[in-house]
Amino acid sequence: MKKNYKIEVDCANCANQMEDAAKKTAGVKNAVVNFMTLKMSVEFEDGVNEKEVMERVAENCKKVEDDCKIFY
């Protein structure tokens, strides 16, 4: 399953770091962050709880950019 989320991030480099953090999160098959549109596209592994995975994605993204926001 693939879903798109609105994000708030200050710079393109931070967006790239958020993308890398999201990709490393358990339950995420792939993630793409588009800084220009301020959107994150997340493809989930089969059978995972989307909300729980996105909570972990948000935690991991805050480790690299503490003032980022993901609206899920």
How many domains does the chain fold into?
1
Sheet strands (E) in the chain: 2-8, 28-34, 39-44, 69-71
Q: Does 64 have pLDDT greater than 90?
A: no
Backbone angles phi, psi at 25, to 5 degrees: -80, 135
Q: What is the pLDDT of residue 72?
A: 86
Backbone angles phi, psi at 56, to 5 degrees: -70, -40
Q: Across the strands, what pairs with 70?
A: 7
Query: Tens digits of per-residue pLDDT, 1-60?
Result: 999 999 999 999 999 999 999 999 999 999 999 999 999 999 999 999 999 999 999 999
Q: Does 65 have pLDDT greater than 90?
A: no
| Three-state SS at 14 | helix
CATH number (domain holding residue 53): 3.30.70.100
Q: What is the pLDDT of residue 15?
A: 94
Length of the chain: 72
Q: What is the pLDDT of residue 2?
A: 96
Quote the domain boundaries for residue 15. Answer: 2-71
